[in-house]
Structure 1
Amino acid sequence: MSEIALRTVTGVLMILTALTAEWFGGTAFAILVAVAATAIYYEWAKMVRGWGIQWHVAGFFFALLPALSLLWVRERGGEPAGSQGFELVLWTFIVTWSADIGAFFTGRTFGGPKLAPTISPNKTISGLVGGLVAATLLGGIWAANQGLHWVWLMLAPFFAFAAALGDLFESWMKRQAGVKDSGRILPGHGGVFDRLDGLVPVAVLTAAGVMAGLG
């Protein structure tokens, strides 16, 4: 099986798992989020071994905050009927996934100048632009279709950019640690941290938007 085919199959399975757990919510979603957060911290801890205790503390909060954000947005209690927790978590997924997939295929198709060659030599400016466009279109379509606050349409490209920064940050960590991937659990993708690095900032920012009254 080719690398792209393997990545595609694994990616589809991950997306289906996330969508199923989010659909059911409650315990199913909590378990998935807890497993993902634990995996992120485990892979972070392996990379920063010998860097100092502060990096382990930072990793704990790095894994915890997006997990709490997703759970709170999806299942926040005491909200009035009509609160859009499910729709907003799915919007978070759509923005992150489309930014990642759009960047991957646009970068491979058009190439061009490197985005941050000293951090991640494979990432290109065209890939970043493609990811922002994909996230803006798909995130905007979902927000409009589900009747989300109009601000979410405007936030999609900014949150997609935050996802790209999360990806670059993890690439920097891997370069400092001298590893290619954060783990090997996901065929064609590497580790859980490799796949969820962009979701971390988007989840936290989405929760902040809800706290600001946009949910």
Structure 2
Amino acid sequence: MTGTEGGGGPAVAGRWNDLRPRVVSAVVMIAVGAAEIWLGGPSFAVLVVLLTAGMIWELASITAPVQRNRPLLMAGLAAASLGAALLLRSDLAAAFLTVPAFALALTPRRDRRIAAAYAVAIMVAGYGLVEFRDEAGTTGILWLVIVVVTSDVAGYFAGRMIGGPKFWPAVSPKKTWSGTVAGWIGAVLVGLGFVLAGMGGWLLVLLSPVVALAGQLGDILESWMKRRAGVKDSSQLIPGHGGLLDRFDALIGATVLVMLLGLFFKDLPIG
């Protein structure tokens, strides 16, 4: 019996080579994330600052792969800038959030304007996660994360089981309309679940799919940037998963939208 016949052989086993590191990494990320969301305060803020700095490092690395030391300097700059913004919590904080973007734009790299714009999104998302945790509490952050995760999982399985027309073939050849709509439906169900549990108003049912769409666009943007850079993963920081941007791209898009909505609405229907 050859390796491609029956139920065994190296061909079949090869498909599951990364299963163990993926599961272990996922369990660790869920445990750490859940603990920090529950703790909140400075502990959660430190975690977000470190993750944000890591994502800026990845962005600097994939847009300027020949530069060895500058990505680390960018990460340090991002950590210092976000830390200052979180300490100030004033209008001046917005200026600090743009510092890494200017640094990326002023150094030699591929797609400097795109990199700078994405750096702003990363920094705003980092600031927004801490701000949203402080204002909406554990319930608000859980809703945001669950909407993003549910949309991603529903879209993944629907896209592969149903297939069909592509959502945005010029930018993301793999994303389908079936997966996109499934993500919206999953987000609606999450919003409905929070409402029925008494943890949000009915407007949350309409808001959840909009936030899911923002997350899907964040995922598409990150994938597009990686294709332009000619890389499969943003880094190898997370065994079996790739990099931080690969795991948090959708959360970046969703959080930025929530921050923008917060400029126009005093209170979101959550918590």
Which amino acid in structure 1 is aligned with residue 144 of structure 2? T
Q: Which has the larger radius of gyration?
A: 2
Q: Displacement of 1:143 after TM fit?
A: 4.0
Q: What is residue 229 of structure 2 aligned with on the other side?
A: 177
Identity of aligned residues (%): 35
Residue pair 1:186, 1:192 contacting (<8 A) in 2 also: yes
Per the alignment, residue 70 of structure 1 pairs with 129
TM-score, L = length of structure 1: 0.85
Tell me the distance in 1 between the aligned counterparts of 2:115 and 2:165: 35
Alpha-carbon RMSD across the aligned residues, in angstroms, is: 2.2
- Match in the other structure for 2:40: 25
1:90 to 120, 131, 142: 142
Tell me if structure 1 keeps the 8 A contact 2:216–2:253.
no
TM-score by length of 2: 0.69
Distance in 2, Cα, partners of 1:11 & 1:134: 21
* Larger CA deviation: 97-106 vs 118-127: 118-127
Deviations for 1:20-66, whole angstroms, at most 9, x for unmatched residues?
10000012211221121111111111222222654454343222101
Unpaired segments ≥5 residues, structure 1: 77-83
Q: CA deviation at 1:197?
A: 0.8
Q: Which residue of 1 aligns with 2:266?
A: 213
- How far does the alpha carbon of each residue in 1:119-140 deviate from its partner, in whole angstroms, 9 at most, with x for none? 3333222211221111211233
Offset from partner CA, 1:135-171 (integer Å, 9 cap, x none): 2112331244243232222111111111111111111
Q: 1:14 aligns with which of 29, 32, 38?
A: 29
Which ranges in structure 2 are unaligned for 5 or more consecutive residues? 1-15, 65-108
**Counterpart position of 1:168:** 220
1: CA distance, partners of 2:182 / 2:19:
18
Structure-2 residue corresponding to 1:79: none
- Using the alignment, how far apart are the partners of 2:17 and 2:155 within structure 1? 19
Once residues 55 and 65 of structure 1 are traced to their aligned partners in structure 2, the CA distance between those partners, rounded to angstroms, is 15
